Each structure stands twice: as structure tokens, then as C-alpha cells.
């Protein structure tokens, strides 16, 4: 590798950063980012200023792009989310927040006076998005396990049944991995005779788990979703935050605008979009294949169940949801928090068993947790 003209001090800073990240990687067990990937085959494409500007399904004046690969990625995700054939649209985003913003943007354009309903276990970014879009919203109570409180949802919808609802469903909550049941939400809408509604599903992590399990919870387009956001850097794994958003095409067509400067339709949130992210997602989907993805998910779920048993054997009250790689337990003592990268919230913490989280890491974590609890 050719060295740059950096000063010795600056080069030492970069080397120090690399060493620090290398040391931290095996301690990252609390955040859903897969560290197990190799994109060295794609490094040569960093020589180009590639840019996927505009709608991935239309041509653009800027031809240094990877839209052909982006479309193939979207087709794979459409199949995994059981999107209606020929009736969906999507693009590769900069991550889950942009995907959620897009789903809520489409919903608000459909129902400008609509009210968005989301549970108290929803990711913090959603309230921020709703403020930015000036969308009316009401927070719904959560059950103890992190799922939306369906009784509270029903009663709140009943009170406001004259206003079209925008339902924000968590397909794997941030802290507890809980999945809001789309079938129950749709049943409530039907029972209240609410015909005009939009359901957005935030499937940041679980969107790449549920397609590969035997009995998934109702979560996808076939179960009533109108738009879905899935992260690419989480279960699949990537060094750059990225994701995919999909929506019913009839809804998207209402917000499309033609822009002469780029020679393309403006249907996305961002103008310039990463053309490298679609390559990474395409590479992961092609190198793993469906059987590889299924095996990867199965391995994570099996290790998550072992982690629950190991922690319980140490006297730690651990549990997880069905089809979830998120293991929840009481907030760990300070020594554990200092050694391991853990995401706490109030009185709980969690371990997320991603593909890079090995049995050796789980055993070491459980031993450290147990030792820290001793008087």
C-alpha cells in the first residue's frame, strides 16, 4: 500500500485509530452492527466518483453510477419482504433513519392531515423525523415486553377515527427486539372501519431475520405494510451505514418530480446518493446466497438462546423474544460496561448476537457479568 504525504505525527494518529478500532471490534456486543465482512474485491471502485443520483429505475445524465446493481438489490429485498409484484418501488438509503423518514414522508403526502401513532419503545429518531415533517403524532403505550399496547392503540384510534392514521410499527424494537404485530394492527383498523391508513414498518434489524425463520411474526407487505425500511449495515454487514426502503408504487407515484438538471425523476430523500452502498449490499447478497443468509441467521438465533441459558445459569435474569437475536438483562455493573460496548437504557441492557459475536465472546461476557455481581 502506497503511503501518503502525511506528516509522521498524522500518520501515527491514523495508525493509532486503526489499532483502537481493531481492539474494540471483539468487544462490540451491544449494538446491531455485523463486523464479519470482506469487501476487498470492491476497493477498486473507490477510484471513481460514482453517484446514484435520482430514481434508480430511470436513466440519469450522470452515468458514473451503479443503478443496475441497485435495482438487483431492491428486487432481492422486494422478494424477501413479499412486496406485490410490479407494484413496489424503492431505493438504497443512507440507513434506517432515512428509510423511516421516507416511509413517513410518503404517508404524510397521502394524508396531509393524518396523525402518526408510534409506541414509546420506538427509536428516538422517529420523533425527530415527525418534528421535521411537522406531522401530528401521538405516542402509544408499550407493553412490558416492548410491543405496542394494542388496547391503547385501539382506544386512541377510536377517539380520532375521523383523521387518517399513519401507523409506525416496530419490527424489532431497539432495546428489546419486540415485533409489533401487523395482523393485530390491521384487525383493529378493520374493526373500527378505518379504510384510509398507512402502515410503515421499521424492520432495521429484524427485516433480515424474519424472512429466514420458519414461523415469522406478521411483519411484511403480505401482512399489511405499506412501506418498509431495512438496514444494510446491521445483519448483512457493511462498513458504511446503508439500508433499503420499499413502498407501494401507487403511493410513490404521487410525490415524483422530474428534474432537468440531472435528467431523472426526483423520488428520493437525498439528491446525491452513495453508489458504493448498493455494490456492498449486492456483494453480500451474492456471496452469501439465500442458503448462506439462512444459515447465518440460524446461527445467530442459536447462539442468542445459548447466551440466555448461560446468563441465567449465572443468576442473571436474561430473556429474548421469539426470532430475536437481542438478549435482554438488568443493566450491567460498571466494570462490564467499561470493558464491553453495551447499549443501556434505564435499568436494562442487551447483548445482540450478530454474526461476528462468537461463543467465546458470549462465554467471556457471561463470566465477566457474573464476576462483577459478586460482593
Indicate whether 255 and 363 sit together in one domain: no
Indicate whether 176 and 320 sit together in one domain: no
Indicate whether 234 and 277 sit together in one domain: yes
Boundary residue ending a domain (285, 305, 332): 285
Domain residues for the domain of 304 are 8-39+293-372
Q: Is 324 a catalytic residue?
A: yes
How far apart are the C-alpha atoms of 131 and 137, rounded to whole Å? 9
Place 305 in a pLDDT band, splitting at 50, 70 and 90. Answer: very high
Indicate whether 257 and 317 sit together in one domain: no
Indicate whether 49 and 174 sit together in one domain: yes
Residue of 289, 147, 327, 301 lying closest to 215 (CA atoms) = 301
Indicate whether 150 and 69 sit together in one domain: yes
Boundary residue ending a domain (250, 268, 285): 285
Indicate whether 350 and 215 sit together in one domain: no
Classify residue 3: in a domain, yes or no.
no
Give the residue carrying C-alpha cell 458470549. 362
Domain count, the chain: 2
Give the residue carrying C-alpha cell 401507523. 167
Task: Decide: pTM greater than 0.85.
Answer: yes
Place 59 in a pLDDT band, splitting at 50, 70 and 90. Answer: confident
Express each pLDDT in 148-183 by its tens digit: 999 999 999 999 999 999 999 999 999 999 999 999
pLDDT score recorded for residue 262? 44
How far apart are the C-alpha atoms of 99 and 145, rounded to whole Å? 25
pLDDT score recorded for residue 258? 42
Choose, from 119, 227, 229, 324, the residue flagged as catalytic: 324
Express each pLDDT in 79-128 by its tens digit: 999 999 999 999 999 999 999 999 999 999 999 999 999 999 999 999 99
Amino acid at each position: 500500500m502506497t503511503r501518503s504525504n502525511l506528516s509522521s505525527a498524522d500518520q501515527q494518529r491514523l495508525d493509532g485509530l486503526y489499532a483502537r478500532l481493531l481492539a474494540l471490534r471483539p468487544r462490540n456486543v451491544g449494538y446491531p452492527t455485523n463486523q464479519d465482512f470482506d469487501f476487498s474485491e470492491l476497493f477498486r471502485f473507490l477510484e471513481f466518483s460514482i453517484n446514484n443520483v435520482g430514481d434508480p429505475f430511470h436513466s440519469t445524465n450522470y452515468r458514473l453510477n451503479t443503478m443496475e446493481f441497485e435495482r438487483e438489490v431492491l428486487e432481492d429485498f422486494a422478494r424477501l419482504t413479499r412486496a406485490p409484484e410490479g407494484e413496489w418501488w424503492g431505493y438504497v438509503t443512507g440507513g434506517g433513519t432515512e428509510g423511516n423518514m421516507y416511509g413517513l414522508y410518503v404517508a404524510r403526502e397521502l394524508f396531509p392531515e393524518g396523525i402518526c401513532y408510534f409506541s414509546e419503545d420506538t427509536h428516538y429518531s422517529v420523533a425527530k423525523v415527525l418534528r421535521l415533517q411537522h406531522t401530528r403524532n401521538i405516542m402509544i403505550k408499550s407493553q412490558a415486553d416492548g410491543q405496542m399496547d394494542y388496547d391503547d392503540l385501539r382506544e386512541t384510534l377510536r377517539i380520532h377515527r375521523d383523521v387518517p392514521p399513519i401507523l409506525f410499527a416496530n419490527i424489532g424494537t431497539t432495546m428489546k427486539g419486540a415485533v409489533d404485530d401487523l395482523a393485530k394492527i390491521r384487525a383493529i383498523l378493520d374493526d373500527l372501519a378505518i379504510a384510509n391508513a398507512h402502515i410503515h414498518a421499521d424492520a432495521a434489524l429484524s427485516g433480515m431475520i424474519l424472512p429466514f425463520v420458519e414461523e415469522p411474526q406478521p411483519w411484511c407487505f403480505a401482512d399489511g405494510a405499506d412501506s418498509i425500511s431495512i438496514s444494510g449495515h446491521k445483519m448483512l454487514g457493511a462498513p458504511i451505514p446503508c439500508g433499503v426502503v420499499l413502498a407501494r408504487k401507487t403511493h410513490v407515484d404521487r410525490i415524483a418530480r422530474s428534474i432537468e438538471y440531472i435528467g431523472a425523476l426526483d423520488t428520493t430523500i437525498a439528491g446525491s446518493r452513495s453508489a458504493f452502498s448498493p455494490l456492498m449490499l449486492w456483494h453480500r447478497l451474492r456471496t452469501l446466497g439465500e442458503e448462506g443468509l439462512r444459515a447465518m441467521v440460524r446461527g445467530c438465533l442459536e447462539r442468542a438462546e445459548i447466551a440466555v441459558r448461560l446468563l441465567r445459569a449465572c443468576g442473571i435474569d436474561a430473556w429474548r423474544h421469539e426470532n430475536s437475536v437481542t438478549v435482554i438483562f438488568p443493566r450491567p455493573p460498571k466494570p462490564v460496561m467499561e470493558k464491553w460496548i453495551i447499549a443501556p437504557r434505564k435499568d436494562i441492557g442487551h447483548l445482540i448476537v450478530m454474526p461476528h459475536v462468537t461463543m467465546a465472546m458470549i462465554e467471556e461476557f457471561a463470566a465477566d457479568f457474573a464476576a462483577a455481581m459478586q460482593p
